[in-house]
Amino acid sequence: MTEDKKPYVKPTIIKLQSGLMNKFGASPYYARKVRTDIDGISIDKLVEQFGSPLFVFSERQIRNTVREAKEAFTSRYPNVTFGWSYKTNYLDAINAIFHQEGSIAEVVSEMEYDKARRLGIQGKDIIFNGPHKSLQALKKAAEEGAKIHIDHFDEIDDLEKVADELGRDDIQVAIRLNLDAGIYPLWSRFGFNLESGQAMDAVRRIHMGGKLKLIGLHCHIGTFILEPDAYKTETEKLVGFAYQIEEALGIIIEYLDIGGGFPSKNKLKGTYLPPDVGVPPLDTYAEKATEGLYNALKPGDFPQLYLETGRALIEEAGYLITTVVASKRLPDGRKSYVLDAGVNLLFTATWYKYTIETDREVQGIGEPALLNGPLCMNIDVVDEGTLLPPLKRGTRLILSPVGAYNVTQWMQFIEYRPAVVLVAETGEAELIREQEDLSDILRRERLPERLRLA
């Protein structure tokens, strides 16, 4: 029997520390994470089949999350409907999963509206938000019975014009409000302000116009909100305002849309606690939001409650597999790895410190490293400093959670956008967006004949 030969380990440079444990808890040896598969399919197999970089979504994770979120609310309040926030991730396959789970569509532009309609969603099952809606878009939405949420006074004018054109006086609308829920920043640039009386002015304006029928109130207090009590304040204020409208004008508000803004289990840069500890569970948000409702609602009155949760439902279902293309040593002694995916694909890298996993066990102790993307830009930094053991070229890193906003805000800049894969509940990987090639980029381009070379 021969003794096993010790594997070769690349040399590393680390600063010696003594005394107290470092407060970030990440020791050079321990905080090391390995992920060999996503929902049972090995990383190797995924890359072999679909290439690198590669976005991977877990269907099981999506369905579990949305079911749990729905449960958190429906087990506390009887009339709850989720509106899938298209902007968070509007790949058809992802939208379809949410719609299958009973969510309606929440869109913020004509493009998203058209996408939802094309997918087979009826107008009445679309919440049409956003500060910019063209006359044409408003007309289409009004004709198809969408839930139009008015953002400003000019939009009231526009919609009344549409009503005239269509010869109708019963277009159902809601108004977007902004209010002080006790948190910072105040999202006061959307909708009508509640506290200043602007919102009541808007309601009176709509009522006087006589062409639109106000049936809903909508508010969206912010994003990645870490204070659940804000939702209690929000719902109390919304219900209070609904009753104020009913008393003053006899208008019955049929639904309340409390927007989204629930955080995902992602680690914001500069936060101290890990998300599992620092981010309250969704149940707490549900408890607070419904507590506010029960505080303010008359017993037995249960107006329809809409939620536009996006991030919290999809973030953790998304992974990005990327490959180490090269490594270098920077003048300050740090290690830098060049990856085939950077901020071109990871818009959210600006705020988040992702979980970084390797696809295999890597020997050696961790050293501070910088993760750079493929762009020829100084800003292309995926992680400014993390502890990684020495990585060979070709090592795969799995970045997560990356499910929200990245596949809608990614850019094509100088690279082809990669494939997106869905791991089905049955355990098979299905391609839901092909990798781009030159034809995608050229499809809309027109080269004038006179500029044709040779």
Tokens found for residue 205 = 């304006």
Interacting residue with other proteins among 9, 111, 252, 330 (CB under 8 A): 252
**How many residues at the interface with other proteins, by CB under 8 A?**
18
Q: Which helix (H) or strand (E) holds 338?
A: strand 335-339
Residues in the chain: 454
Please, which of residues 190-219 interact with other proteins by CB under 8 A?
A: none
Please, which of residues 286-325 interact with other proteins by CB under 8 A?
A: 287, 290, 294, 298-300, 302
Secondary structure of residue 255 in the 3-state scheme? strand
User: Mask of contacts with other proteins, 98-137, x by CB under 8 A?
Assistant: ----x---------------------x-------------
CA distances from 92 to 17, 81, 86, 213, 269 (A): 51, 20, 10, 32, 31
Tokens found for residue 299 = 């017993």
What's the min distance (Å) between Cβ of 151 and other proteins?
26
Phi, psi of 210 (to 5 degrees): 70, 10
CA distances from 378 to 191, 342, 353, 356, 406 (A): 37, 11, 18, 21, 20
Beta bridge partners of 104: 83
Interacting residue with other proteins among 14, 25, 26, 78 (CB under 8 A): 78
The answer to whether 169 contacts other proteins (rule: CB under 8 A) is: no
Pick 34 or 252: Cβ nearer other proteins: 252
Residues 6+ apart with CB under 8 A from 328: 335, 336, 338
What's the min distance (Å) between Cβ of 338 and other proteins?
40
Interacting residue with other proteins among 17, 42, 49, 75 (CB under 8 A): 75
Pick 230 or 253: Cβ nearer other proteins: 253
Pick 143 or 254: Cβ nearer other proteins: 254
What's the min distance (Å) between Cβ of 194 and other proteins?
24
What's the min distance (Å) between Cβ of 397 and other proteins?
29
Pick 79 or 435: Cβ nearer other proteins: 79
String of DSSP letters for 272-336: -S-HHHHSPPHHHHHHHHHHHHHHHSPTT---EEEE---HHHHGGGEEEEEEEEEEEE-TTS-EE
String of DSSP letters for 40-85: TEEHHHHHHHH-SSEEEEEHHHHHHHHHHHHHHHHTT-SSEEEEEE
The C-alpha angle with vertex 324 and arms to 319 and 329, in degrees rounded to 5, equals 130
Pick 79 or 408: Cβ nearer other proteins: 79
Interacting residue with other proteins among 76, 205, 334, 433 (CB under 8 A): 76
What's the min distance (Å) between Cβ of 283 and other proteins?
8
Helices H / strands E in the chain, number of each: 13, 20
Pick 163 or 293: Cβ nearer other proteins: 293
What's the min distance (Å) between Cβ of 80 and other proteins?
8
What's the min distance (Å) between Cβ of 299 and other proteins?
4
What's the min distance (Å) between Cβ of 163 and other proteins?
18
CB atoms under 10 Å from CB of 355, counted, come to: 19
CA distance 265 to 279: 7
Burial of 20 (0-12, 13-18, 19+ CB in 10 A): exposed
Interacting residue with other proteins among 44, 71, 227, 425 (CB under 8 A): 71
Interacting residue with other proteins among 12, 27, 36, 74 (CB under 8 A): 74
What's the min distance (Å) between Cβ of 332 and other proteins?
44
Please, which of residues 254-273 interact with other proteins by CB under 8 A?
A: 254
Chain positions contacting other proteins, by CB under 8 A: 71, 74-79, 102, 124, 252, 254, 287, 290, 294, 298-300, 302
